[in-house]
Amino acid sequence: MDHRDIIAALTAEQRASLTERSDRRGLAHLALHWGLIVLLGTLIAVKVPYWWALMLPQGILIVFLFTLLHEAVHKTPFASEWLNTLAARVSGFLLMLGADWFRYFHFAHHRYTQDPDNDPELASPKPETLWQYLAHVSGLPVWWGQARGLVANALGRGAAAYVPAKGEAKVRREAVVILALYAALAALSLWLQTTALLWAWIVPALLGQPFLRLYLLAEHGRCPFVANMLENTRTTATNRIVRWLAWNMPYHAEHHSYPAVPFHKLPEFHAIVEAHLKQTERGYARFNAKYIAALD
């Protein structure tokens, strides 16, 4: 049985329940996630005692906005489309990722998951040596790639097969706006002679990125190149804190099998497909330990 068989077997009532979006559930989750970022950012900016110890948790909260961006481009965390758009644009801005560009990239990833010729996520090979693994987990190649991509898109030189011709102007305009806002914030910081953004946003994001890399590697790393979403994508069992932080995306095979299911309904869908999952792991530390052991 593959993911299409399971979706086809769902009743109309199950489909309606599983795909029901909710502003209330989305806003409650968003308020806590963004609220913690604002709180920690403020404490860091005013440099409370031991403020430096807050930078790592702040960074983890910031970089895991990627999972919100990922969810929001599907327009599933909220019932209201403008909330999905707002969440995607703010999250993308903080992570140097244009929401419009990422939507095209991510939808191609869903359409061609684990297809070596067409999945854009496979354009950058997964690490196969210890050095490649350490470089990947550092997050530095990711930041460099995202910065280059943003500039290339702003200059109209970032053409990719997954961006349709009608979307090129939108992607370029978005990149220009993001870079202009970054320049304005940098100029404002210099004018005010403040390093608040450096310590409350930039350095924390650099510190937090390795945790996101460790998390994301488990989604498809070492999964087979097949079309079945229950086999080419991994679901990782983890604790409530990680599931909350990642907007329930550890249920990743479930998400790929039925992308219309919003984050708060994924545990319900997991109960339906659990017995059919082909790629699972008990925790991210366990997955990465196995990954390292298999490196050349």
Tokens representing 141 are 């190649």
Q: Do residues 213 and 137 touch, judged by C-beta distance below 8 A?
A: yes
pTM above 0.85, yes or no: yes
Per-residue pLDDT tens digits for 141-199:
999 999 999 999 999 988 789 999 999 999 999 999 999 999 999 999 999 999 999 99
Q: Do residues 248 and 266 touch, judged by C-beta distance below 8 A?
A: yes
Helices (H), the chain: 3-9, 12-18, 23-45, 55-63, 65-72, 81-95, 99-111, 130-138, 140-154, 168-192, 196-197, 203-220, 240-245, 252-257, 266-273, 284-293
Share of residues in the chain with pLDDT > 70 (%): 100
Region 67-81: what's the mean pLDDT? 98
Residue 261 pLDDT exceeds 90: yes
Torsion of CA 206, 212, 214, 216, to 10 degrees: -140
CA proximity to 95, closest of 63, 138, 71, 60: 63
Q: What is the pLDDT of residue 247?
A: 98
- Calculate the average pLDDT of the chain: 97
Helices (H), 124-239: 130-138, 140-154, 168-192, 196-197, 203-220
What backbone phi and psi angles, to 5 degrees, belong to 11? -75, 165
How big is the CA angle at 243 (ends 294 and 283), to the nearest 5 degrees? 25
Q: What is the pLDDT of residue 21?
A: 98
Class of residue 272 by CB neighbours under 10 A (exposed 0-12, middle 13-18, buried 19+): middle
Strand partners, 282: 237
